[in-house]
Amino acid sequence: MTQFNSKEENTYDPNVLPWDTSVGNRFAHYSDTDHSATIWITTALALVYIIGVLIIRISIKWRLFGWDDGIIAISTVHYIWLL
Do 55 and 77 fall within a single domain? Answer: yes
Alpha-helical segments (H) within the chain: 36-60, 67-82
Do 4 and 29 fall within a single domain? Answer: yes
Strand partners, 30: 35
Do 17 and 39 fall within a single domain? Answer: no
Segments forming the whole domain that contains residue 53: 35-82
Do 17 and 48 fall within a single domain? Answer: no
Whole-angstrom CA distances from 55 to 1, 10, 38, 59 are 46, 43, 26, 6
Give 37-49 pLDDT, tens digit per residue. Answer: 888 899 999 999 9
pLDDT at 6 over 50: no
Instruction: Return the pLDDT at 44.
Output: 92
Do 25 and 39 fall within a single domain? Answer: no
CA distance 46 to 56: 15
What pTM did the predictor assign?
Answer: 0.55
Considering its fold, how many domains does the chain have in total? 2
Whole-angstrom CA distances from 8 to 11, 25, 78, 80 are 6, 18, 43, 39
Give 7-52 pLDDT, tens digit per residue. Answer: 445 555 666 665 555 555 567 777 788 788 888 899 999 999 988 9
